[in-house]
Structure 1
Amino acid sequence: MSAAQLLQLTDVTRSVLLPDDSQLHILNGINLTVTEGDHIAIVGRSGTGKSTLLNILGLLDRPTSGTVAWRGKDASGLSARRAAAARGRDLGFVFQQFNLLPGRTALENVMAPLMYASGRDFWQRRKLASEALDRVGLGTRLDSMPQSLSGGEQQRVAIARALVRRPRVVLADEPTGALDVSTGRAVMELLDAATVDSGAALITITHDANVAALARQQFRLESGLLHPLSLEVV
């Protein structure tokens, strides 16, 4: 049975109006299909529109033109409330800066998204968060504060937090940017394995070709368009 389609961008553009009334064209016709289990990497230099594309993929922003389909339905015109509900339920985010809550333990950080859940996810939030931390190798660090964890461990907490609600798509924005090379590779391998295990799709936005090479589909974002790549791990 073929994998289910999750996200589809068709001829997506994004422009912004500058103070002199001219248009800055950031995305110029993006086409991308994301299905269950995909690991897609998008490489691009600073200023090429990677963050803009991530915001559209994450239902945080709308395209100027074109369509964004989520599980076969047009999501371009979703209300802010419905887009937020879809993000909370089906999308997980991992960022370069770990964005952990200071003064909260690893367990409490991972539990945070479940505070807005309902039913089983809410009532079993401590158990689910503990299991998520165990999956990323931090089952013995539940009560550790962020400042007592290494950079790689903090990113593992962030990964557990992103996965705890079992999202359909995980968006990773420069997830190794604050880590050394070996730790970054270990974190990416962990993130890939964790999403494969859960059946989620993983989309990694990065400037690092070696990080992108770990993905099974690779693209370069240039001049507002996606160009297929074929990279190998060095």
Structure 2
Amino acid sequence: MLGVTPLLELSEVTRTVKLPDDQDLHILTGVSLSVHPGDHVGIIGRSGTGKSTLLNLLGLLDRPTTGTLRWAEHDVRRLSQRVAARIRGRDVGFVFQQFNLLPGRTALENVAAPLMYATGKEFWNRNRLAARMLERVGLGERLNSMPEKLSGGEQQRVAIARALVRGPKVVLADEPTGALDVETGTSVMNLLDGVTHETGAALITITHDINIAQMARRRFRLTGGRLVALREDGE
């Protein structure tokens, strides 16, 4: 069952940027969305519809132009950069299409990397926590493997383990299967959905693939700068 209090709550959020010719580009024109613990939201949209802009807002990398975006009890527009960075590092996990693994570092070292910014037991136990998370995603035998020795699906599993190692409250997946074949992508999404469901984290998947979006429990299309709920048939 979803939590009662939303982790993320957007109300008529807009994002406008100034173009070089001093004209305004209205990317998001009124996005409203509530995301609870344990939720899985799929957002589909074509290139240029504002998916990356929305992801940046959800991940506290940017702020709305107007409207309200609340992260737990925080009004994001009132957060200092320092506090936003602290929340992002502690409570938000990112999974990208390009796995963004550190070259020359083992799977274990890649997953332990976010814990270098932790404190106390989390910092001192970083390798143990990283190994446990890699085992959870089925890579317990590949701890010392370099990224180039792993398949695409295995690299994405490492990226998922890295995103989850700090126990985030929200996981943002940006085209997480875009670099994978259909079968591997479906397997990776099932894994991501399963692990976040077990930990109680909310999962927000942003994709252009309707089949991936349909794996979410709630589905939306980003169009005209707004979110429109999808029916079961994807329309």
Q: TM-score, normalised by structure 1?
A: 0.97
Distance, in Å, in 2 between the alignment partners of 1:166 and 1:230 is 32
Distance, in Å, in 2 between the alignment partners of 1:81 and 1:232 is 43
Distance, in Å, in 1 between the alignment partners of 2:7 and 2:126 is 26
Distance, in Å, in 2 between the alignment partners of 1:199 and 1:42 is 20
SS at 1:187 equivalent: helix
Larger deviation, residues 167-176 vs 224-233: 224-233
Q: How many residues align?
A: 233
Distance, in Å, in 2 between the alignment partners of 1:129 and 1:10 is 37
Q: Could you list the runs of 4 or more consecutive aligned residues of structure 1 that deviate by over 2 angstroms after TM superposition?
A: 230-233
Q: Give the % identical residues.
A: 67
Q: Give the structure 2 partner of residue 167 of structure 1.
A: 168
RMSD over aligned CA atoms reads 1.2
Unaligned runs of 5+ in 1: none
1:176 Cα shift? 0.2
Q: Does 1:32 align with 2:48?
A: no
1:72 Cα shift? 2.5
Q: Does 1:60 align with 2:61?
A: yes
Q: Does 1:146 align with 2:115?
A: no
SS at 2:205 equivalent: strand
Alignment-mate amino acid for residue 54 of structure 1? L
Query: 1:212 touches 1:231 (CA, 8 Å); kept in 2?
Result: no
Q: Give the structure 2 partner of residue 104 of structure 1.
A: 105
Distance, in Å, in 1 between the alignment partners of 2:160 and 2:77 is 27
Query: 1:54 touches 1:171 (CA, 8 Å); kept in 2?
Result: yes
Distance, in Å, in 2 between the alignment partners of 1:137 and 1:230 is 34
Alignment-mate amino acid for residue 154 of structure 2? E
1:87 Cα shift? 0.5
Q: Give the structure 2 partner of residue 184 of structure 1.
A: 185
Distance, in Å, in 2 between the alignment partners of 1:2 and 1:174 is 24
Q: Give the structure 1 partner of residue 76 of structure 2.
A: 75
Q: How does 1:83-102 map to 2 (within 5 A)?
A: 83-102=84-103
Query: 2:28 touches 2:50 (CA, 8 Å); kept in 1?
Result: yes
Larger deviation, residues 11-20 vs 224-233: 224-233
Q: Give the structure 2 partner of residue 45 of structure 1.
A: 46
Query: 1:170 touches 1:202 (CA, 8 Å); kept in 2?
Result: yes
Distance, in Å, in 1 between the alignment partners of 2:131 and 2:233 is 35
1:73 Cα shift? 2.3
Write out per-residue CA displacement over residues 63-96 of structure 1, whole angstroms, 9 at most, x where no aligned residue.
Answer: 1101110113212221111111001110000000
Alignment-mate amino acid for residue 89 of structure 2? G
Query: 2:2 touches 2:37 (CA, 8 Å); kept in 1?
Result: no
Distance, in Å, in 2 between the alignment partners of 1:164 and 1:213 is 26
Query: 2:2 touches 2:38 (CA, 8 Å); kept in 1?
Result: no
Write out per-residue CA displacement over residues 14-47 of structure 1, whole angstroms, 9 at most, x where no aligned residue.
Answer: 0111122211100000000010000000000000
Distance, in Å, in 2 between the alignment partners of 1:232 and 1:154 is 32
Distance, in Å, in 1 between the alignment partners of 2:160 and 2:172 is 11
SS at 1:5 equivalent: coil
Distance, in Å, in 1 between the alignment partners of 2:29 and 2:111 is 37
Write out per-residue CA displacement over residues 109-157 of structure 1, whole angstroms, 9 at most, x where no aligned residue.
Answer: 0000000000111011011000000000000000000000000000000
SS at 1:178 equivalent: coil
Distance, in Å, in 2 between the alignment partners of 1:82 and 1:67 is 18
Query: 2:2 touches 2:36 (CA, 8 Å); kept in 1?
Result: no
1:2 Cα shift? 5.9
Unaligned runs of 5+ in 2: none
Q: Give the structure 1 partner of residue 135 of structure 2.
A: 134
